[in-house]
Amino acid sequence: MEVPINLNSSTSYNNNNNNNNNNNNNNNNNNNNNNNNNNNNNNNNNNNNNNNNRRTVAGEKMDKKVLIADQINEKGIDELKDIVEVIPNFTISNEELLEAIKDFDAIIVRSRTKVTREIIEASDKLRIIARAGVGVDNVDVQAATERGIMVINAPESTSITVAEHTMGLILALSRKIAMADNSVKNGNWEKGRFMGVELNGKTLGVIGMGRIGNQVVTRSKAFGMDTLVYDPYITKKSALELGVTVVDLETLIKESDVMTIHVPLKPETKYLISKSQFEMMKENVFIVNCARGGIINEDDLYNALSNNQIRGAGLDVFENEPPKNSKLLELDNVVLTPHIAASTKEAQRDAAIIVCNEIKKVFKGTSPKNVINMPVLDPETSSLIKPYFTLIEKIGKFIIQTAKGNINEIDVTYCGALSEIPKQDILTR
Ligand SMILES: NC(=O)c1ccc[n+]([C@@H]2O[C@H](COP(=O)([O-])OP(=O)(O)OC[C@H]3O[C@@H](n4cnc5c(N)ncnc54)[C@H](O)[C@@H]3O)[C@@H](O)[C@H]2O)c1
């Protein structure tokens, strides 16, 4: 039985982060609601199954096999097991997988299983590789794309979880919770040592206003914080709607009391926060990184912390994980967690439900939303639009070289046979 989850594809060519961010928020909320509904539905289904002592859709299974190679939440498996054959094998080795993969139409992994080029090339009818989480570092996406295999993930599953962890680190820093905990456990009662600061009325600087940044802003408002945002891809209109002030990075750095990073690690964000940025900061600032190691230069952070140039840092991610020989481990004014910002039962449950629903959509012939390596098209549509890809790429390159400022919106006018294809089919990303 299909339990739909709200994973609406964008049907607009509007490349406006405003809309994206709002959609992300809505999708997150909808997903949560849907997940709750799913849970209720699952419970109801279970009850019905027990009452009738039979499977909900006996005899209606599709001729598809899904391998679950890493342990995922049961709620996800429940989504699939009545419509396809589901084979859980949470200990399968890569050598065994090399042989077994031939039989499967889809494989679901978390982090343990590495879906290498070798495995992908050994597959026969594999259509989907699903990662029940956000990153796809353990999947050779290039090899999958070359074979026309979809790689699916669940980027929205961890946004609330990571935002909550971010708030946790901010509070741990502002109230010295980790240090105080350690002191009490060592038999001390040092009330004077742990004087904190309130968040109320302070300015939070959010670098990167995507899914997680949005959730952090929502939560910071409940703490009475003002918000500054730096995100080159956010528009004034969306900032207005979200009630945040968008500034350049330098202004954010100079004016924030607390800074938090929610951008991807890429060449332009590598060492985004280094010596010269630390020199611009208020001396009482806290900085938190729950995004990726390497966005903050850790040597420069160590110097800033040990010279009391800044007040404290909360890190969930490090350039090298674990950060065994890092000098940061010696400092009192840091709170460190072992890359667990995304680790909650709810996020894992949601990731499992989201990817299983995505797989279900593919098998049922509808468009999934979270395919990271291709738009989802039927072969006929695909052959019709393929020749236009080169043209579009060239137009894109031309526009990017001639446009001034950020591109917020692109209007595309096209006609002929192409215009007869439903937009939804093409614009899945
Ligand atoms: N600690 C963890 O376990 C964990 C879990 C999930 C995600 N993450 C990290 O958090 C990051 C953010 O996740 P998300 O889901 O919010 O991603 P997202 O794609 O929704 O948002 C990223 C935002 O960063 C902005 N951005 C891109 N380049 C920028 C730049 N140079 N300067 C400023 N802003 C820039 C984008 O416009 C976008 O709004 C991810 O890239 C990931 O690395 C960490």
In degrees, rounded to 5, the angle at the alpha carbon of residue 350 between the alpha carbons of residues 349 and 353 is 85
How remote is the CA of residue 249 from the centroid of ligand 1, in Å? Answer: 15
CB-CB contact of 87 with 112 (8 Å) = no
How remote is the CA of residue 180 from the centroid of ligand 1, in Å? Answer: 31
Nearest atom, ligand 1, residue 233 CA: 37
Q: Which residues sit with their C-beta closer than 6 Å to ligand 1?
A: 17, 24, 134, 155, 158-159, 162, 207-213, 230-233, 262-264, 268-269, 290-292, 316-317, 339, 341-342
Choose one of 211, 262, 317 to mutate for the ligand 1 pocket test, by most ligand atoms within 8 angstroms of C-beta: 262
How remote is the CA of residue 208 from the centroid of ligand 1, in Å? Answer: 6
State the burial class of residue 129 (Cβ atoms within 10 Å of its Cβ: 0-12, 13-18, 19+): buried
> In the prediction, which pLDDT does 34 show?
40
The single residue listed with the structure tokens 């849970």 is 39
> In the prediction, which pLDDT does 404 show?
84
Active site positions, annotated: 292, 321, 339
> In the prediction, which pLDDT does 51 show?
34
Displacement of CA 76 from its chain's centroid (Å): 18
> In the prediction, which pLDDT does 376 show?
57
Q: Name the DSSP letter for residue 137.
A: T
> In the prediction, which pLDDT does 428 show?
37
Closest residue to atom 37 of ligand 1, CA basis: 233
> In the prediction, which pLDDT does 226 show?
96
Question: What are the structure tokens assigned to 152, written together?
Answer: 């699916």
| DSSP bridge partners of 227 | 204
Q: What one-letter code names the amino acid at 170?
A: I
Choose one of 263, 292, 348 to mutate for the ligand 1 pocket test, by most ligand atoms within 8 angstroms of C-beta: 263
Phi, psi angles (nearest 5°) of residue 351: -60, -45
* pLDDT tens by residue, 401-418: 898 887 877 787 877 777
Residue spans of beta strands (DSSP E) within 126-269: 128-131, 150-152, 203-207, 226-230, 245-246, 258-261
How remote is the CA of residue 241 from the centroid of ligand 1, in Å? Answer: 20
Low-confidence ranges of the chain (pLDDT < 70): 1-59, 375-379, 382, 422-429
How remote is the CA of residue 335 from the centroid of ligand 1, in Å? Answer: 21
Cα–Cα distances in angstroms (integers) from residue 175 to residues 196, 255, 302, in the given order: 4, 21, 21
| DSSP bridge partners of 335 | 314
CA–CA distance, 397 with 403 (Å, rounded to integer)? 10
Nearest atom, ligand 1, residue 292 CA: 43
> In the prediction, which pLDDT does 383 show?
72
CA–CA distance, 318 with 302 (Å, rounded to integer)? 13
> In the prediction, which pLDDT does 379 show?
61
Question: What are the structure tokens assigned to 421, written together?
Answer: 């294809």
Phi, psi angles (nearest 5°) of residue 44: -60, -45
> In the prediction, which pLDDT does 242 show?
85
Nearest atom, ligand 1, residue 162 CA: 5
| DSSP bridge partners of 129 | 107, 151
> In the prediction, which pLDDT does 365 show?
83
DSSP, collapsed to helix, strand or coil, labels residue 145 as helix
> In the prediction, which pLDDT does 377 show?
64
Whether the link from the prior residue into 232 is cis, omega within 30° of 0, is no
CA–CA distance, 260 with 172 (Å, rounded to integer)? 14
State the burial class of residue 247 (Cβ atoms within 10 Å of its Cβ: 0-12, 13-18, 19+): middle
The single residue listed with the structure tokens 């060592």 is 186
> In the prediction, which pLDDT does 368 show?
87
Nearest to 210 by CA among 186, 182, 183, 234: 234
Question: What are the structure tokens assigned to 247, written together?
Answer: 């500034």
> In the prediction, which pLDDT does 301 show?
98
Choose one of 18, 162, 369 to mutate for the ligand 1 pocket test, by most ligand atoms within 8 angstroms of C-beta: 162
How remote is the CA of residue 291 from the centroid of ligand 1, in Å? Answer: 7
State the burial class of residue 362 (Cβ atoms within 10 Å of its Cβ: 0-12, 13-18, 19+): buried
